[in-house]
Amino acid sequence: MQKVLVVYESMFGNTHDVAEAVATGLRSSVDVTLVDVGDAPLEIPDEIDLVVVGGPTHAFGMSRPSTRQSAVEQGADPQAAEHIGLREWIAGVVTHEGLPTAAFDTKVAKPHLPGSAAKAAERKLRHRGFKKLADPESFLVAGTTGNLLDGELERARAWGESLAVA
């Protein structure tokens, strides 16, 4: 069975919930390891066939230490700001050339803001030697702390299923 590594970052828990739904969709046909970015391996194990990453959109892109701190000031779990985020993980990750990848993010529904952590992550992952399997996907929250809009977890599960097929 093919093996997929799902790496997520989440400050308020919404991206974590989306990551779980994506993993559920993937599990329809592949073996999935779901891991918080703070515990993610910096060297992708040889047996991994696909890496899926997801994180919250902060300041039009991936989070930084300063935006994670700002999230904590707005009520996020302080532990989530004590380790690296997706940006730093991608900058340090080592893989074999051409490993397929797909990226998702969460972002606020209103106001609609430009920029997406998933697009930024996907671009950086390609620079690190990964190959894009699917277009970046965004899942919407009602506000900074959440909640996810109705139907987004179902959409995330379906997106995971589509990745497994791809």
Ligand X SMILES: Cc1cc2nc3c(=O)[nH]c(=O)nc-3n(C[C@H](O)[C@H](O)[C@H](O)COP(=O)(O)O)c2cc1C
Interface ranges with ligand X (CB under 6 A): 10-15, 56-60, 67, 70-71, 74, 106-108, 113, 115, 141, 144, 146
Give the CA dihedral 59, 99, 27, 85, nearest 10 degrees: -30
CB of 99 to ligand X, least distance (A): 25
In the complex with ligand X, the residue whose CB is nearer, 108 or 133, is 108
CB of 11 to ligand X, least distance (A): 3
In the complex with ligand X, the residue whose CB is nearer, 30 or 76, is 76
Pairing of strands 100-108, 137-141: parallel
In the complex with ligand X, the residue whose CB is nearer, 32 or 140, is 140
Per the CB < 8 A criterion, the answer to whether 10 and 16 are in contact is: yes
CB of 66 to ligand X, least distance (A): 8
In the complex with ligand X, the residue whose CB is nearer, 48 or 120, is 120
In angstroms, how far is the first alpha carbon of the chain from the final one? 14
CB of 133 to ligand X, least distance (A): 22
